[in-house]
Chain A
Amino acid sequence: MADMRNDKARKDAISKASGRETYVGDLSLDGMIYACLVRTSVPRGIIKSITLPPLPDGYYYFDDRNIPENGRNELWMIQKDWKCFAAGSSGYVGETIGILCGPDRTLLYSLRDQIKVEYEEQTPAVSIEDSLALVGGPIIGENNYHCTVELQAGDGDIDEIMKNAYRVVEEKFSTGHQEHMHLETNGMMVNYEDGKYVYYASCQCPFYIRKSVAGIIGATPEDIIVRQMSTGGAFGGKEHFPDVVAGPLILAEYYLKKPIKLIFNREEDTQFSVKRHPSVVKFKTALDRKGNILAMDSIVYYNAGRYLASSYIVIQRGCMHIEGVYKFPVARTRGYSMATNTFPSCAFRGFGAPQTIFAVETHMTHIAEKLGVDPVEYKRRYLIKQGDTTITNGKIVENVRTPELIEKVCKASDYFEKSRKYGFGSGKGIGFSLYNHGGAFTGNGESAIIKAVVKVCKRKDGTVLIKAGQTEMGQGFSSAVCRIAAKTLGIPYEKVIYKYPDTSVVPDSGPTAASRSTMVPGNLVMKACEELKARWDEADELECEAHYEHPEGYPWDQASFQGYAYLGYGWGACVVEVEVDPRTAETKIKGIWSAHDVGNCIDPLIVHGQVNGGIAQGIGWASTELLENKGGYFKQHSMSDYIIPTSMDLPAQEVYYANEPYKWGPYGAKGMGELVFNGSGAAYVDALSRAINRKIDSIPNPTEVIMGHILHSEKLTEDKR
Chain B
Amino acid sequence: MSEKLHIAQNLEDALLFRKENDCIVMAGSSDLMVSAYQGYGALPKFDKPVLLIRNLEELIGVRRNSDGTVEIGACTTSRQIVESPDTPWVLKQAAGRMGAVALRNSATIGGNIANASPKGDTPGPLYLLDAVVNVMSLDGGRRSIPIRDFIIKFRTIDLKNDEIITSVTIPVSDKDMTYWFYHKIGTRAANAISKLTLCACAKVSWGEVKDFRIAATASGPVTNRSRDVENIAIGLKFDELAAKASEISGAFDKVISPRAMPEFRREATRRMIEFFIDKVSKNSYKKFYN
Instruction: Report which A residues bind B (CB closer than 8 A).
Output: 25, 34, 36, 105-106, 108-110, 185, 263-265, 582-586, 624, 639-641, 643, 645-646, 648-649, 702-704, 707-708, 711
Contact = CB atoms under 8 A, between A and B. Distances in A.
A583 B188 contact: no
Contacts of A708: 263-264
Nearest to B191: A646
A586 B190 contact: no
B89 interface: no
A265 B183 CA distance: 34
A680 B183 CA distance: 29
A263 B189 contact: no
Contact of B195 (A106, A265, A649, A704): A704
Interface of B: 37-43, 45, 183, 185, 187-193, 195-196, 261, 263-265, 267-268, 271-272, 275
A368 B191 CA distance: 39
A264 B190 CA distance: 25
Contact of A703 (B45, B183, B193, B264): B264
B183 A584 contact: yes
B48 to A, nearest CB: 17
A625 to B, nearest CB: 10
B200 to A, nearest CB: 13
Nearest to B262: A704
Contact of A648 (B190, B265, B268): B190
Contact of B185 (A105, A646, A703, A711): A703
B268 A707 contact: yes
A34 B41 contact: yes
Contacts of B189: 646, 648-649
Contacts of B41: 34, 105, 263
B190 A583 contact: no
Q: Which 8 A-B pairs rank lowest in CB-CB distance, beginning with the nearest?
A: A704-B264, A648-B189, A648-B190, A583-B271, A265-B40, A106-B42, A105-B41, A704-B261
Given A105-B42, A106-B42, A265-B40, A711 B263 contact: yes
A265 B264 contact: no
Given A641-B193, A646-B191, 4 more contacts: A583-B275, A624-B187, A645-B188, A711-B267
A582 B263 CA distance: 15
A109 B42 contact: yes
19 contacts: A108-B42, A109-B38, A109-B39, A110-B38, A265-B39, A265-B40, A583-B268, A584-B185, A584-B271, A586-B185, A639-B191, A648-B189, A649-B189, A703-B195, A703-B264, A707-B263, A707-B264, A708-B264, A711-B263
A649 B39 contact: no
Contacts of B192: 643
Contact of A702 (B45, B187, B193, B271): B187
B264 A643 contact: no
A105 B191 contact: no
Contacts of A649: 188-190
B272 A584 contact: yes
A582 B38 CA distance: 42
Contacts of A648: 188-190
A713 to B, nearest CB: 13
Contacts of B185: 584, 586, 703
B100 to A, nearest CB: 8
Contacts of A185: 40
Nearest to A107: B42
A263 B183 CA distance: 40
Nearest to A266: B40
A553 B275 CA distance: 67
A704 B265 CA distance: 8
A109 B263 CA distance: 40
Tell which of A185, A585, A649, A707 has the most Cβ of chain B within 10 Å. Answer: A707
Nearest to A649: B189
A439 to B, nearest CB: 32
Given A584-B183, A641-B193, A649-B189, A105 B268 contact: no
Contacts of A583: 183, 268, 271-272, 275
Nearest to A36: B39
A451 B194 CA distance: 52
Nearest to B267: A707
A185 B190 CA distance: 22
B39 A646 contact: no
A703 B45 CA distance: 36
A141 B195 CA distance: 43
A643 B187 contact: yes
B42 A640 contact: no
A642 to B, nearest CB: 10
Contacts of A264: 40
A638 B175 CA distance: 42
Contacts of B190: 646, 648-649
Contacts of B267: 707, 711
Nearest to A645: B188
A87 B8 CA distance: 53
